[in-house]
Structure formats: structure tokens, C-alpha cells
Amino acid sequence: MKLLPCNAAVSSWEDDAWYDRPGYPPLDGCWIHPPCGDSRLPEVYFCEDCEKTRNEPPPVMYVGSGADTHVQLDASFPERLCRIVRTRQRWSLEALTPRWQVRVQSSGTNATCDTLDVGRPRGLQHGDVISLSTPPTAQASYSFQLEVSELPEASFPNRYPARFPCRSSLPEAPEAPEELRRLAWQTDQMRRRSEQDQVRVADWSNFSQYVKKHYLDHGIHCTSWKISGRGKPCDPKPASFQPRPLPKWICELLAEAPAEGSREQPHASCLAASGSPIKLQQPLQQPLQEAAVDVCRDGTIGGYRATDAADLGAAPSQPEEVVLEETNPLLLQPIQDWLESVDDAGFLLQYYDQIVANFDSLKQIHDVYFHDGCLDGKFFLAAGVTKLGHKRILQKWFRDHFP
């Protein structure tokens, strides 16, 4: 976009008089050239495809004699005469000072000259003439020039996003109903109360149904995360690691060590990949209690002196029977089925991938993080659960089933 004085030629870019980022706050992508010859107006150039402005809020360019204006005029003009605003793909001009006439002469076949009213913007087109004085003179008139961008509009999906209500890029959007405004206020109050630990899980459940009811009245349908939020099946379990050959010195140590025990060797696959023979495991030749600790005659155990040698002889020769506790059937269900049973809406399924990556089963979560009727907060960090409502749902499930 260019603002060219009507009685002056276009300035060369090789001229050292150009300066950028005029006004306050500084406007990136804007260059100003001081007035030349008999012209009272500076030349203005604004780059719409600049990297610093393409994804920023719509530019607002103030024109006047004030020290903080972007297009600064001489002292004969008001401090803030008018402003030029970009809204979506349209530029508009708005007068700011009463009793000062700002005229716009259109460049079409039906050329008309309109005097702007304060607070009522008018759209600008390529070739329009903006007169800032009364009566209109060429020394105080701008020619509005637009440059056609060679880049497609799809290259800037976030061009000029709205960050403030007074600078919205959607002026034609309908105003929100008072009912939805009140609903937004109530949602903010619920959030504040939940941060102060004053809201139960049942309160959030009832409030969500209350919100859905209002949404349906306005034609807004809520779909659960389970149906459309994820949009893809659960990630399959990654393939197991392939056995790799062991170094030669490790194979020699394993060949010398006695192969005792009743379990399968964990390094058997790696030994097979190394080409070393696998020794068959033999049953224990001595009681387990004596095989676990090397007992010497001088009263030392594992290199340490025993305090009482009589206690060593009194140790039972056979191990005591270990009574296994029965596992709750709820802890044996798959993690995906557990998340679906906890939350019917399926919002907890978004944590499935991270839970499966860090934990093997639901029983492991219970044994490690659930103590004294409370689920440890470290579990939420490991599972990636950040929302307070989801944390309370998981806490409630463990407390109800494991009092």
C-alpha cells in the first residue's frame, strides 16, 4: 500500500531520507519519506507481505501533527486528523477530528467526492484521492495506491488475527447472545472455584450437562473425544528389540558361570546370536537359603564378619512358604478398557499413548502410586494429565474401588 502526494513524483529507494518504523507504537513494515518540493505531505509505503506484519494484528496508521502519529504532518494540521485501518482484505479511512473536513474522491467511472463523518470509516479503492485540507489542494492530497500481491492468499492462513476486541478482524460477525455471555462467565467462575479446591467431580458433571443444554438450544452439537476428537485408532505396540551378539568376554564369563535355577536365561537369545553354546540349566544342588549367601567357617558372610555365629546355624534350612495375595480383577483389565469405563465421554483416552509408554499395567500404577487412599501426583506428571477435572476423576475411581 502506498500514499503518494498528488503534486510530487515517486521517491527513489536509493534516497537516504527514507526511515522505517514510524510513530508510537512503532509500525513494522512501514517506511516514510519526508515531503519534497511544494508538497506538505510525506510519502508512505507499507509492505503487506512483510515477515513482521503478515501474521500480526491489523495495522492502524494514524495521520496528524502529533509526535506519536505514524504519518506526521506540519503544525497546521490537527494532532490526530484521521487513521487508515486494514480490516481483512480491505483498507478504510476514518476521520477523527470534528470541524475538519477530510474528503475522499473515488476513482471509478462515477467519480464522487464524499466528506467523512467522525467515527464512520469509508472503504478505500485503488486510485482514490484523499484530501486533508479545505478547500482541497494538490499540496495536501494523497493518491491511494494498492499493490497486487504475487503470493496466493493461502500462503497466509493466520493473516491479521484479532487480538483485541477493538481491533477485531471479523466486524461482520454477529454479536454473541446474552445467554452465551452469561454461560462464559459461569464457566470462568467454575474454573476459579476448582483452582481453590471447591468443586467436586459431580459438580463438573452437572455443569457440563448444563452447558450442553444451552449449546443445543443454539444449534451447537458437542461430540465426545472418543468419537471424533482422536480421529485415529490407538497406536500399536512397537516391535520388540532384536537380539544382538554379545562381546566375546561376556560370552566367556557366561560359559564359566554355573547355570543353576529354574527360569529361562534372559541372555539366551543374545548368546545364540553370538554363536556361543547355551548351557542347560541344572536344578539347585543345595537348599536355597544356603545357596543365596556364601557361608565361611570363620564366621564371615559375603566378606563381612557375622556378629553371632550361632544365629547362622539357627537359620532354617528350607524357605518359608510365601502366601500370594489375590489380585483385584479390576487391576487386570487393559488400560484402554479402564479409561473407557472411568469416563463415558472418552475424554481420558487422550492420555492412553503416554500411559502405555510409561506403564505396563494398571496393577503397576496401583502398586507404585496409590498409597493411603490417595493417588500420588507423580502419576499425573508421568501420564501427562494436566486438567484438574481429569485428575479428580482418576482420584475418585481409585478411592471408590480401593478404600
pLDDT at residue 42, as a whole number: 92
Region 184-212 average pLDDT: 87
CB within 8 A of 21, min separation 6: which ones?
27, 28, 30
3-class SS of residue 147: coil
Peptide bond before 277: cis, by omega within 30 degrees of 0? Answer: no
3-class SS of residue 10: coil
Model pLDDT for residues 347-388, shown as the tens digit of each residue: 898 999 889 888 888 988 999 999 888 899 899 998 989 899
- How confident is the prediction for the chain on average, in pLDDT? 78
Task: Report how far apart, in Å, the C-alpha atoms of 131 and of each of 85, 98, 114, 162, 231 are.
Answer: 17, 15, 10, 30, 57
Quick one: how many helices (H) and strands (E) in the chain? Answer: 11, 17
**What would the DSSP string read from start to end of 348-390?**
GGGGHHHHHHH-S-HHHHHHHHEETTEE-HHHHHHHT---HHH
Q: Name the least confident of 37-51, 136-150, 191-205, 346-360.
A: 136-150
**What would the DSSP string read from start to end of 100-118?**
---EEE--SSS--EEEPPB
**1-173 has which fold?**
Tumour Suppressor Smad4 (2.60.200)
The pLDDT confidence band at residue 250, using thresholds 50, 70 and 90, is: confident
Region 98-111 average pLDDT: 80
Are 213 and 221 spatial neighbours (Cβ–Cβ below 8 Å)?
A: no
Model pLDDT for residues 315-355, shown as the tens digit of each residue: 555 555 555 567 788 888 999 889 988 888 888 989 998 89
- Cβ-in-10-Å burial (0-12, 13-18, 19+) of 274 comes to middle
What distance, in Å, lies between the first and last C-alpha atoms of the chain? 70
Question: Within a 13 Å sphere around the CA of 146, how many CA atoms are in the beta-carbon half?
Answer: 16
Pairing verdict, β 43-46 and 2-5: antiparallel
3-class SS of residue 75: coil
pTM over 0.75: no
Model pLDDT for residues 252-290, shown as the tens digit of each residue: 887 787 666 655 666 778 888 888 777 766 666 655 555
Region 86-92 average pLDDT: 80
CB within 8 A of 75, min separation 6: which ones?
65
Q: Does 88 or 135 have the greater pLDDT score?
A: 135
pLDDT at 64 over 80: yes
Phi/psi at 370 (5° precision): -105, 110
Beta strands, E only, 136-265:
141-145
Taking the alpha carbons of 205, 210, 212, 213 in that order, is the dihedral positive or negative?
A: positive
Pairing verdict, β 82-87 and 60-64: antiparallel
Measured distance CA(52)–CA(182) in Å, rounded: 37
Region 113-135 average pLDDT: 87
Task: Report how far apart, in Å, the C-alpha atoms of 283 and of each of 76, 260, 267 are.
Answer: 107, 6, 18
Report helix, strand and coil shares of the chain as percent, to nearest 5: 30, 15, 55
Are 6 and 143 spatial neighbours (Cβ–Cβ below 8 Å)?
A: yes
Segment holding 33, helix H or strand E: strand 30-33
Residue 225 is classified by DSSP as: I
Q: Does 156 or 16 have the greater pLDDT score?
A: 16
